[in-house]
Structure 1
Amino acid sequence: MKIVILDAKTLGSDVDLSGFKQFGTVEVYPTTDSSQLLERVKDADIIVTNKVVIDKNALSVAEKLKLICVAATGYNNIDVRSAVEKKVAVANVAGYSTESVVQTTFGMLFYLLMNLRYYDDYVKSGRYAQNDIFTHIGRPFWEINGKRWGIIGLGTIGRRVAEVAESFGCEVVYYSTSGINRKEKYKRLNLNHLLETSDIVSIHSPLNEKTYNLITLNELKKMKRNAILLNLGRGGIVNEKDLSVALDSGYIAGAGLDVLEKEPVSSNNPLLTVKNKDRLLITPHIAWTSIEARQKLIDEIIENIKAFLEGRERNRVDLRQ
């Protein structure tokens, strides 16, 4: 059995990949571009990919291929129709990064809300040493206890964020991006009502035709002036040009983004030239990347391979579309 890991760099150098060796020969590539793909997959029995696109050409060349393991929950980088035709199974991993994303959500919130960059700079610049009192209230902040937290996308991550927000004393409400009615303990609102009344809005939904450009300048203007917006779902849900306008116009107090429409970020992205830089925190799609989450991801992929070889259904993607 030959296993080819196409973009191991996305998994980090500090995770243990040795578990794959129990299945046979393992070829590990840090990254793989389109010009290298066909040569690398042509003899593979199993492919492990995070973001490398496995298209019809790759599937046609990989004549021995039996299983594609996606090192993620989403599998939009796989040509599903061609996989069906070639009778190649696809397995993904769900739920491995929930705690990591939730932790990042609150880390972003407190960084913005409490103006931590400003206060850190204030001390390290030497200004605090010249202060005439023991404290400095240059950027007042408010407590989240008793405030309304609006969640867009109440899936596994959204529910966990809701639980933690409640532990801080927040009132949690949500907007369903799918429109499916489920019995939830939290109050469901339409999008406008959620935006107009929430002090914190966090996005944890997938990107699809219902959520693309869900938040534009029109929606941002409806938010409270002291509200904070967090997007840990997918880039493209928040219109980035409109967000830059909203931040510089003071329509919202701040925004934290772990995802962008184009990743890595384009050099001409309007968010990079926001005037009020203290109002904006952007991280390079790291919310899922705790050490524990990445090792759990690897362990789950190994279990998916074991299940496939033993003829068991485990995290198998339903390719009938």
Structure 2
Amino acid sequence: MKIVLLDALTFGETNLSCFDTFGDVEVYQKTSVDETQKRIKDANVVVTNKVVITKEQMQNSSELKLICVAATGVNNVDLQAAKELGIEVKNVAGYSTDSVVQHTFSMLFYLMGHSFYYDKVVKSKEYSNSGLFTDVSHPFFEIKGKTWGIIGLGSIGREVARVATAFGANVIFYSTSGRNSSGEFEQVVLHRLLESSDIITIHAPLNEKTKNLLNYEKLQHLKEKSIVLNLGRGGIIDEDAVAQIVDERELYFGLDVFEKEPLPAQSPLLGVENPQRLYLTPHIAWTSIEAREKLIASVCQNIQESL
């Protein structure tokens, strides 16, 4: 059996030896659009994280039997074509929940505690020369007693809700699909969530219901000094609107995902006048060491089950 890994660089230093038990393995750190066809042409199994696999490429890969998506989302594979061609497609779910929850709070604490400012004020020696033992110029609030709104109450959203409750927050949620419900947390309509929440976190997929869900008009409903974190998918928040509004009002945004990844160098998010109100990370919420180990183990398990 020939197994081809198309974008192993996304797994970092994670041990990939489990693939060796199935046959010959070809590992590519990155694969461009122009390189994909050549690399999968004779493969029996293809492992991709974000490399796109098209119908034409599958048609020209006569030995291909299984595509393993090393992620939960499978929008990078033409599923209809795979079905027509008898090619099995398997993904991995649930491997990154703890990692994403942890990064959610990491982003929150950075923005809520004004870490951008306080780190700079100490390292610049401004604090050393101040003559005061403390600096209370950038006050932060406590989570306890605040309203925490969650957009998308799936497995990750529920775990965030559980931890937020442990901090003493009052959790409310909006279901983007309309299917999720909870006897533990109050379900509200979107405009109420935006108007009443001190903290908002997004843990929803990108689809026709969530595309630009938070546009400029919707963001106008946010409470002053509120914090919005997107750890779902890029495109749920209008990035142009975020870049505009952080220079108009004291609102804070943490984005781990972007509409186009990597984030274009010309993105308006990189040219705002108030960068301290933005915390941008390069789609890393899922990437804890443990999550990546679970991911690779699950991909190998998917291959084993197919065999």
* TM-score, structure 2 normalization: 0.98
Aligned equivalents of 1:212 and 1:108: distance in 2? 23
Q: Which residue of 1 aligns with 2:93?
A: 94
SS at match of 1:249: coil
> Cα deviations across residues 39-85 of structure 1 (Å, max 9, x unaligned)?
11111110000111111121011111111000000001111111111
SS at match of 2:246: helix
Q: Which residue of 2 aligns with 1:10?
A: 10
1:235 lines up with 2:244 in the alignment:
no
2:245–2:251 contact (8 Å) kept in structure 1: no
2:8–2:27 contact (8 Å) kept in structure 1: yes
RMSD: 0.9
2:154–2:180 contact (8 Å) kept in structure 1: no
Q: Which residue of 1 aligns with 2:169?
A: 170
1:78 lines up with 2:77 in the alignment:
yes
> Cα deviations across residues 221-275 of structure 1 (Å, max 9, x unaligned)?
111001000000011100011111111001x421000011111111221111111
1:225 lines up with 2:227 in the alignment:
no
Which structure 2 residue ranges, 5 or more long, are not aligned? none
Q: What letter matches 2:22 in structure 1?
A: F
Aligned equivalents of 2:243 and 2:33: distance in 1? 33
Aligned equivalents of 1:127 and 1:7: distance in 2? 45
Q: Which residue of 2 aligns with 1:266?
A: 264
Runs of 4+ in 1 over 3 A off after TM superposition: none
Q: What letter matches 1:257 in structure 2?
A: L
Q: What letter matches 2:273 in structure 1?
A: K
1:280 lines up with 2:295 in the alignment:
no
Q: Which residue of 2 aligns with 1:113?
A: 112
Which structure 1 residue ranges, 5 or more long, are not aligned? 310-321
2:10–2:49 contact (8 Å) kept in structure 1: yes
Q: What letter matches 1:10 in structure 2?
A: T
Aligned equivalents of 2:99 and 2:303: distance in 1? 24
Q: Which residue of 1 aligns with 2:56?
A: 57
Aligned equivalents of 1:282 and 1:184: distance in 2? 34
> Cα deviations across residues 126-151 of structure 1 (Å, max 9, x unaligned)?
11111222111121111111100000
Structure 1 residue 184: Cα displacement: 3.4
Aligned equivalents of 2:32 and 2:147: distance in 1? 45
Residues 238-257 of structure 1 correspond to what in structure 2 (within 5 A)? Answer: 238-250=237-249, 252-257=250-255
1:22 lines up with 2:15 in the alignment:
no
SS at match of 1:243: helix
Aligned equivalents of 1:75 and 1:36: distance in 2? 20
Residues 280-319 of structure 1 correspond to what in structure 2 (within 5 A)? Answer: 280-309=278-307
Aligned equivalents of 2:282 and 2:188: distance in 1? 31
Aligned equivalents of 2:67 and 2:6: distance in 1? 11
Structure 1 residue 182: Cα displacement: 2.7
Aligned equivalents of 2:106 and 2:300: distance in 1? 31
SS at match of 1:245: helix
Q: What letter matches 2:188 in structure 1?
A: L
Aligned equivalents of 1:187 and 1:156: distance in 2? 16
Aligned equivalents of 2:95 and 2:87: distance in 1? 24
Aligned equivalents of 1:28 and 1:218: distance in 2? 46
2:175–2:181 contact (8 Å) kept in structure 1: no
Residues 143-222 of structure 1 correspond to what in structure 2 (within 5 A)? Answer: 143-180=142-179, 182-222=181-221
SS at match of 2:247: helix
2:153–2:180 contact (8 Å) kept in structure 1: no
Aligned equivalents of 1:254 and 1:211: distance in 2? 21
SS at match of 2:242: helix
Structure 1 residue 181: Cα displacement: 5.1
Q: What letter matches 1:283 in structure 2?
A: T
Aligned equivalents of 1:85 and 1:273: distance in 2? 46
